[in-house]
Chain A
Amino acid sequence: MSEHKQNVGLPDKLYKVKYKTDERSHLKIKDQGVCAQCEDKPCIARCPAEVYEDEHGQILVAYENCLECGVCKIVCPFDNIEWEYPRGGYGVVWKFG
């Protein structure tokens, strides 16, 4: 997975997505210690919107990019992501869907 440059051009695509961003995150890492032990960190590569980022073993969560697909909570091998729907009216607002 190392040589292949991932998600080139994705930020421009996310720019096309309309959001109503809540000030609080609907995605939470339950225990950063568990992520530090996780070798594959599949949440990072499987998220279609680069919500998850590894910074020195800490997982940063850019919840404002979230497309609400639900993939991250399913691929997490340790069930370590607390995934909720954004509050009513918040989050992604599809124009076409």
Chain B
Amino acid sequence: MTPDSSAMDKNFDVIIVGAGPSGLAAATTCARAGLKTIVIERGDRPGTKNVMGGILYTRPTAGVWPEFWKEAPLERPIFEQQYWMLTPDSALKFGYRSEQFVGDVPNAFSVLRVKVDRYFAEQTEKAGALIICQTLVEEVLTDGDRVKGVRCGREDGELYAPVVILCEGVNPELGKTLGMQQRLKPSQVASITKEIISLPQETINDRFNLPGDDRGVAIELMADATAGLLGMGFIYTNSNTLSVGVGALLQDAMDSQYTPYDLLVRMKTHPMVAPLLQGGETLEYVSHMIPEGGYGAMPQLFGDGIMVCGDAAMLVNSLHREGSNLAITSGKLAAETAVEAHDKGDFSAKTLHGYRGRLEQSVVLPDLRKYRNATRFMETHPVFDVYPEFASDAAREMLTVDGESKRAKQWKLMRMLFQRRTIFGLAWDGLDAGRSFL
């Protein structure tokens, strides 16, 4: 991994930009197929520039690294998912806990990316790929319209390959320069802040009602968690830390008085959240963007000698908190397409079009297409204030025993709902929800 450009052969079968989930998945797949593969990473070592909320889905990951969960440095298998709708002093909670989530193949794990990416990078090297760190790719080299390699930010830093896979992440600077990407808009990204908070394992187990450190919970927090902004908060239990974060669509956040840091402090001090974090020490403060433009905002996914994967390709299903799995799958599929191109000896867009076809055959594009209207729906309907507040009021009203009959309470709630949303508003919300999500 030590860069020594002078001694290195400069010709490769495939060059991959970025050692995140999509880049490492692509590199592992290419190297296993026998391609001479190089990954170029700007960070100190793989992982040190990478951020995610912290839930890694097992099966898509095992599609590249089989049985990785038996040895990778993961935090806890997640056997419970909770959703909390917060109002300033209340929480309406839904949850599902199942031992089936931690069977032979646990469904998901909480992870800390720096640790886990280091492991995936080691697996990638074992597969035969070369990973060069501390190196920024400054330019994709072209010969006419055709990509022929990259220029790195070091002396004599030109490397050549007939196909380049861009796995740059949410800031796709090379893709933009190539004209494959537009400048991202505030309506297409969420801004996230997060803290890693240290607590003794026993304390975490007690506070989250976990039987041991081999069980974890993921909590998503809505409504007042984001001060009503379009977004979500989260608390994930790691082994002896918590990942506590909040994010909001940048467009929405720009109209708010809360800075990204203040939004996080606000959630951390919420009366339903604060007791869980009490006494914890913050080990790291993190910020990141999530691309949320969805299907309609995807960039050009391929061209002559080039393919784009993961966050750089906007492959995120924010409604279902899926990103790294789509990144890994897209990296693998781009790699399979690169292998096919080598077999054919044709690296033109005509062959690389197969990447898009493979994404169509997988869950990636069908899922993104299914939720293409989700962000627009949440922007245009009061799902982050009117409905959570009403649900909270309804729960409190029906659970309060005060001499008023249940029928009278129901009528009161009906009147309350119609005061907050007209019958046409309600009908439109329901119809559009059906159209957008079913």
Contacts and interface: CB of A to CB of B under 8 A. Distances in A.
A13 B44 contact: no
Interface in B210-267: 241, 250, 253-254, 257-262, 265
Interface of B: 42-44, 47-52, 112-115, 117, 133-136, 152-154, 170-171, 173, 183-186, 189, 191, 193, 195-196, 241, 250, 253-254, 257-262, 265, 282-289
27 contacts: A9-B265, A13-B261, A17-B284, A46-B191, A46-B253, A46-B260, A48-B259, A48-B261, A67-B287, A70-B170, A71-B260, A75-B250, A85-B171, A85-B173, A88-B152, A89-B133, A91-B49, A92-B48, A93-B44, A94-B113, A94-B286, A95-B114, A95-B284, A96-B112, A96-B114, A96-B286, A97-B113
Given A20-B44, A75-B186, A85 B136 contact: yes
Interface of A: 1, 4, 6-10, 13-14, 16-17, 20, 42, 45-49, 67-71, 73-75, 79, 83-89, 91-97
From B113, B133, B261, name the one whose CB has the most chain A CB atoms within 10 angstroms: B261
Contacts of B257: 1, 4
A48 B92 CA distance: 29
A48 B287 contact: yes
B372 to A, nearest CB: 21
A70 B284 CA distance: 19
B134 A89 contact: yes
Given A46-B254, A79-B183, A88-B153, A96 B261 contact: no
Most buried by B among A14, A45, A74, A84: A74
A8 B113 CA distance: 28
B283 A46 contact: no
A97 B191 contact: no
Contact of B289 (A6, A70, A91): A70
Given A83-B173, A94-B47, A96-B284, 11 more contacts: A6-B262, A9-B261, A10-B261, A13-B285, A46-B250, A68-B171, A71-B289, A91-B49, A93-B48, A96-B115, A97-B117
A6 B258 CA distance: 8
B50 A97 contact: yes
A74 B51 contact: no
A69 B288 contact: yes
A10 B193 CA distance: 12
Contacts of A1: 257
Contact of A70 (B133, B153, B171): B171
A94 B49 contact: yes
Given A48-B193, A48-B261, A85-B136, A97 B250 contact: no
A52 B183 CA distance: 21
Q: Name the residue in A45, A83, A94 with the highest tally of chain B Cβ atoms < 10 Å from its Cβ.
A: A94
Please provide the 7 A-B residue pairs with the shortest distance between their CB atoms, ordered closest to farther. A89-B134, A97-B113, A13-B285, A48-B287, A48-B260, A88-B136, A70-B171
B260 A96 contact: no
From A20, A68, A69, A95, residue with most partner B Cβ within 10 Å? A69
Contacts of A87: 136, 153
A74 B186 contact: yes
A76 to B, nearest CB: 10
Given A16-B285, A68-B49, A71-B191, A96 B44 contact: no
B153 A75 contact: no
Contacts of A9: 261, 265
A42 B285 contact: no
B43 A69 contact: no
A48 B191 contact: yes
Contacts of A96: 112-115, 196, 241, 283-284, 286
Contacts of A45: 259
Given A46-B254, A85-B42, A97-B47, A17 B265 contact: no
B198 to A, nearest CB: 10
Contacts of A42: 254
A16 B136 CA distance: 25
A71 B259 CA distance: 12
Contacts of B282: 13, 16
Contacts of B134: 88-89
Nearest to B171: A70
Contacts of B183: 73-74, 79
Contact of A13 (B47, B191, B195): B195
A93 to B, nearest CB: 5
Contact of A75 (B43, B50, B254, B287): B254
B114 A97 contact: yes
A15 B43 CA distance: 20
A50 to B, nearest CB: 8
A18 to B, nearest CB: 8
